[in-house]
Amino acid sequence: MNQNLSLYRIFYAAALAGNISKAADELFISQPAISQSIKKLEQSLDTALFVRNSRGVQLTEEGELLFAHVKSAFQTLEAGEHQLRLRRELGVGHLRIGVSSTLCKYVLLPYLTDFVKLHPHVQVTIACQSTNHTLQMLEQEELDLGLTGRPEHLHGMKFYPLRNIQDIFVASREYLEHLLLFPGQEGLEGCSNLSSLSSSDSALLLKSGTLMLLDKDNLTRQYLDQYFKEHQLFPENILETTSMDLLIDFAKIGLGIACVIREFVETDLREETLLELPAPFPIASREIGFVFSTKQGNPELIRELINQKR
């Protein structure tokens, strides 16, 4: 663009008003200044843009052509200013969140319920994916916020802890009774009562039964694989899935023993839809929370979300 933007602003105002005097009043400048600016623009474009009539000024054919483009440009600028004003005055914005499907359902949704009521103008985008992928996208500034387990390395990010979660082994009563009664379960012959299962019994059940785990890309699975390795536990039959909800459902229908998070199956444990097996060795609890880049651009929105008390 070879012309000063102010010349186009004056041209735009004069074309809309159809009158030099009205344009001058709108722009708070003198009529001679309006006329001089239009003349300067016409000279630089080597084109007549207006003709005078009894009511003021009227666009020429060339002026109509230029006006269509100038109008589009100024409307775009005005829309941008409007969006910025809404963001400032009404809290309009865009918040991009990365979270696993499990944490989204059991932890994030209660936070979002109150947040969207308080900030109805904020666009929220949720990427349900692995923790590793969320952390990678945060580092690349493709997300504003993540809900994950505490990362081992933060790499320029902050972690806001929410709570601890506990991994446990669960199965249906029917599955465990079948497994205990199945011929050939070495070491379990004397255990006929589920309430008397010991940690050593659980170790044998994990080895002989079907153990259901999240897939290897999941941070929970990686944590459990390290647990098995440290305690020399070697499950022989493993069923993998990408969803903890599926692990819970599979355990309920008796497909095997699932490793799930206790806080997410409390109702099932209370109603005895699922039974908890004693862990062969203690499993350390894990911390989950919100993680965000120190360079992210929505600090107010993030602060509002993480301060929603649960």
Exposed, middle or buried: residue 49 (CB in 10 Å: 0-12, 13-18, 19+)?
buried
Which residues, in sequence order, are bridge partners of residue 126? 97
pLDDT along the chain (310 residues), means of 10: 80 92 91 93 93 89 94 89 67 81 90 84 88 90 91 85 95 88 49 67 88 91 93 92 94 96 95 93 94 75 74
Give the SS3 label for residue 16.
helix
Other CB atoms within 10 Å distance of the CB of residue 254: 16
What is the per-residue pLDDT for 261? Answer: 95
Query: How many Å apart are CA 95 and CA 177, to the nearest integer?
Result: 48
What is the per-residue pLDDT for 86? Answer: 62
Give the chain's length: 310
Bridge pairing between strands 145-149 and 93-99: parallel
Task: Name the residue ranges covered by the structural domains of the chain.
Answer: 5-89, 92-165+287-306, 167-284
What are the phi and psi torsion angles at 56 (to 5°)? Answer: 150, -115
Residue 247, CA atoms < 13 Å, CB-side half-sphere: 29
Query: How many Å apart are CA 191 and CA 59, to the nearest integer?
Result: 96
What is the per-residue pLDDT for 3? Answer: 60
Exposed, middle or buried: residue 81 (CB in 10 Å: 0-12, 13-18, 19+)?
exposed
Cβ proximity of 169 and 206 under 8 Å: yes
pTM beyond cutoff 0.75: no
The answer to whether 5-89 and 167-284 have equal CATH topology is no
What is the per-residue pLDDT for 195? Answer: 64
The class level of CATH for 167-284 reads alpha beta
**175-184 contact pairs (CB < 8 A, 24+):** 175/209, 175/251, 175/254, 175/255, 175/256, 175/257, 176/205, 176/275, 176/277, 178/254, 179/205, 179/208, 179/209
The CATH number of 92-165+287-306, from 3.60.20.10, 3.40.50.970, 3.40.190.10, 3.40.50.720, is 3.40.190.10
Does the domain spanning 5-89 belong to CATH 1.10.10.10? Answer: yes
Exposed, middle or buried: residue 56 (CB in 10 Å: 0-12, 13-18, 19+)?
middle
Q: What is the DSSP string of 132-185?
A: HHHHHHHHTTS-SEEEEEPPS--SSEEEEEEEEE-EEEEE-HHHHHHHHHSTT-
